[in-house]
Chain A
Amino acid sequence: MIKLENVSKIYGKNIKALQDISLKFAEGELIILKGVSGSGKSTILSLIAGLSKPTFGEVIVDGKKISKLPDHFAASYRRDNIGIVFQKYNLIPELSVQENVLLPLFPLNLPREDMRQKAKKVLEMFSIEHKSSLMVRNLSGGEQQRVAISRANINDPKIILADEPTANLDEKLSREFIEILRELKSKNRTIVVATHDPLFFELDFVDKIVNIEHGKLL
């Protein structure tokens, strides 16, 4: 369960990204945050991920006040619960596919075999295992998208957050991505997608569409 209670976020002195927003998402739901660029969609994702803290209000995930977590706990919360797919993928181009996918687990210092198995499993799941040793910069946009999704799923997170995930993809690849979302939803993942791509608004498996404009819910 994800809850935003009267959340406002102000950047700098007076840039109001969100104004008194309250939202509630149930486990296993697919939610679309709809709005134009700068409407505040990404800020909501960022607050749910614990990447930033609200100026006012609370963000509560599974009963925990995320907005109050100190850095160390916020990091482990993200690692254990959240998978993020960024608009520009935010991969490290000079690392291999496997290294990028395993990057969230590096601080855990797990045995090599465990790491290898985890990478294999997730890369197979998103059909990119055959490129595991290639450097990310040599992959196409669609392949990079798959690597980003693989990385977001490396630790079986309960919540997937995707920020404009199809902004850099053509329609065919966008539809492939939507199929991946369908599969993730079937595994009872809670998925929040921030997008203004019309492809998402007509999907039969979307549970909720939230319209945002100028930091407010419509």
Chain B
Amino acid sequence: MNKINFYLLEYAYSYIVRHKNKNIFIVTVFTLLVALLSTLFFITSSLQYELKERISNQSDIVIQNYKAGMPAAIDTALLDKLLEIEGITAGKLEVKGKYYFSQKKSTFYLLGVDAFEMQDDPLIVKLLDQYDLSDSEMLVSKNVKDVMNQAYYKEYFNFIKPDGSLQKVTIKAAFDVGNRVELKNLIIMSKDTLRKIFGYSANKGSDIALSVANKNELDFISSKIRLLLPNAKVTSKDDLLLEYDRLFDYDSGVFLSLFVIALFTFFIIIYDKANGLSSEEKREIGILKAIGWCVEDVLHAKFYEASLLSFFAFTLGIAIAFVYVFVFKAPLLGAIFTHENMLDIQNFQLNVHIELSYILLIFLLSVPVYIAATLIPSWRVATLDADEVMR
């Protein structure tokens, strides 16, 4: 088997074509299986990559105040207390939060900025360099601008404050978020204006963001903060990563139910193949042996046949999944991975990020299994006397 025998390869190809109805069915199920699995891996690995990128732009630890189990404003005085904890190198009071725009059933993400404050996110840094924001102005993402336009807010928007009065803020500019999934509904304005919208007093904010020198100490410092502030919610980057992982585990479970159906069908084929060949297939092996082929030659041809078919179906499955996920943005199935409060992939191009280990895993789960299922019954028949097989 050192050298490719093109005659056997051609024979294998002709065998596939001669049994086209059966093989079309096998290729369809095989391709569907590979496409489903690959879709799962493509979507999750792409989104996980995005999320990890997003987390990398966030603060090391975020602290939110809770009262009676509800999020509440946090006082800037706490910041000084927190900065005394060893290992914390910097901190700032943040003003940010969600704002539900009932008219268009959209949730905006409002971020308060201070011209003198360092920003972690490179996009925000770039925008603040580009635009000078006054207290009555805001920057909105293109998506937010579209939503506002649909509600006839072309130049400004009226935010409804907790007391029911309106806070009018002018749209200074709309910015493009590129492939930053999480910033799709972002609005940037001054912290003071945002405090008015959320009804916070001057020394209050939504959370405190902290930077830690040694990232390996995130858990340790988080637990110290929890002891200091038992009512606060302390979230570290590691916690977020764990949360996302759990989330994708759940989503993968939903998706796996679809996969199981395909896998079940695939194994019916494998079972059918492994349980024996049709009388026509047996007779053909008998003829080949009668005219001088040995068992090894028969298996060689069968190996080519199974490889051609399974490689074709595997490649097709991967290609379909790639186009479905990265070109068509995973319609229908993508919704399984959409979370209103975290991600909305509807208007986003999922970025091409493929884990080769996953592709290898799918390959090992399908191609060798199929080749073995083809070779085993052929071997059984080929080792019988040709005379017996042809009778």
- A: which residues have CB within 8 A of B? 43, 46, 49, 51-53, 71-72, 74-76, 78-80, 82, 84, 86, 90, 92, 94-95, 99, 102-107, 109, 115, 151, 155
CA distance A82 to B386 in the complex (A): 14
Contacts of A80 in B (CB 8 A): 292
Instruction: Determine the residue in chain A with the shortest Cβ distance to B287.
Output: A90
Option from A53, A86, A109, A155 in Cβ contact (under 8 Å) with B5? A109
Residue B256 CB within 8 A of the other chain: no
Residue B8 CB within 8 A of the other chain: yes
22 A-B interface contacts by CB (under 8 A): A46-B387, A51-B289, A51-B290, A72-B295, A74-B294, A75-B289, A75-B293, A75-B294, A75-B297, A78-B290, A84-B291, A86-B290, A92-B284, A102-B7, A103-B288, A104-B291, A105-B7, A107-B7, A107-B300, A109-B5, A109-B6, A109-B8
CA distance A151 to B292 in the complex (A): 11
Contacts known (A94-B14, A106-B7, A109-B5); A49 close to B290, Cβ less than 8 A: yes
CA distance A79 to B295 in the complex (A): 13
Residue B388 CB within 8 A of the other chain: yes
Option from B3, B293, B390 in Cβ contact (under 8 Å) with A109? B3
Residue B385 CB within 8 A of the other chain: yes
Contacts of B290 in A (CB 8 A): 49, 51, 78, 84, 86, 90
Contacts known (A53-B385, A72-B294, A75-B293); A94 close to B18, Cβ less than 8 A: yes
Query: What is the minimal beta-carbon distance from A85 to any residue of chain B, in angstroms?
Result: 11
CA distance A86 to B294 in the complex (A): 19
Contacts of B291 in A (CB 8 A): 78-79, 84, 103-104, 151
- B: which residues have CB within 8 A of A? 3, 5-8, 11, 14, 17-18, 283-284, 287-297, 300-301, 383, 385-388, 390
Contacts of B295 in A (CB 8 A): 71-72, 75
Option from B5, B283, B386 in Cβ contact (under 8 Å) with A51? B386
Query: What is the minimal beta-carbon distance from A40 to any residue of chain B, in angstroms?
Result: 13
Query: What is the minimal beta-carbon distance from A132 to any residue of chain B, in angstroms?
Result: 16
Contacts known (A106-B11, A109-B3); A76 close to B294, Cβ less than 8 A: yes
CA distance A71 to B5 in the complex (A): 20
Contacts known (A106-B7, A107-B300); A75 close to B287, Cβ less than 8 A: no
CA distance A46 to B286 in the complex (A): 12
Instruction: Determine the residue in chain A with the shortest Cβ distance to B14.
Output: A95
User: A72 touching B296 by the CB < 8 A rule?
Assistant: yes
Option from A43, A86, A104 in Cβ contact (under 8 Å) with B292? A104
Contacts of B390 in A (CB 8 A): 90
User: B287 touching A92 by the CB < 8 A rule?
Assistant: yes
Instruction: Determine the residue in chain B with the shortest Cβ distance to A82.
Output: B292
Contacts of B289 in A (CB 8 A): 51, 75
Contacts of A105 in B (CB 8 A): 7
User: A106 touching B8 by the CB < 8 A rule?
Assistant: yes
User: B294 touching A71 by the CB < 8 A rule?
Assistant: yes
User: A71 touching B383 by the CB < 8 A rule?
Assistant: yes
Instruction: Determine the residue in chain A with the shortest Cβ distance to B301.
Output: A106
CA distance A99 to B11 in the complex (A): 9
CA distance A173 to B28 in the complex (A): 46
Instruction: Determine the residue in chain A with the shortest Cβ distance to B389.
Output: A51
CA distance A102 to B291 in the complex (A): 10
Instruction: Determine the residue in chain B with the shortest Cβ distance to A103.
Output: B291
Listed from nearest, the 4 A-B pairs whose CB atoms lie closest are A79-B292, A75-B294, A52-B387, A107-B297
Instruction: Determine the residue in chain B with the shortest Cβ distance to A9.
Output: B387
CA distance A107 to B11 in the complex (A): 10
Contacts of A51 in B (CB 8 A): 289-290, 385-387
Contacts of A72 in B (CB 8 A): 294-296
User: A75 touching B292 by the CB < 8 A rule?
Assistant: yes
Contacts of B6 in A (CB 8 A): 109
CA distance A63 to B292 in the complex (A): 20
CA distance A102 to B10 in the complex (A): 12
CA distance A78 to B290 in the complex (A): 7
User: B14 touching A107 by the CB < 8 A rule?
Assistant: no
Instruction: Determine the residue in chain B with the shortest Cβ distance to A106.
Output: B7
Instruction: Determine the residue in chain A with the shortest Cβ distance to B386.
Output: A51
Contacts of B293 in A (CB 8 A): 75, 79, 104, 106-107
CA distance A213 to B5 in the complex (A): 45
User: B385 touching A52 by the CB < 8 A rule?
Assistant: yes
Knowing that A102-B7, A109-B5 touch, tell me 4 more A-B residue pairs with CB under 8 angstroms: A52-B387, A72-B295, A72-B296, A109-B7
CA distance A109 to B5 in the complex (A): 6
Query: What is the minimal beta-carbon distance from A130 to any residue of chain B, in angstroms?
Result: 22
Contacts of A115 in B (CB 8 A): 7
Contacts of A49 in B (CB 8 A): 290
Contacts of B386 in A (CB 8 A): 51-52
CA distance A52 to B386 in the complex (A): 7
CA distance A99 to B17 in the complex (A): 15
Contacts of B292 in A (CB 8 A): 75-76, 78-80, 82, 104, 107, 155
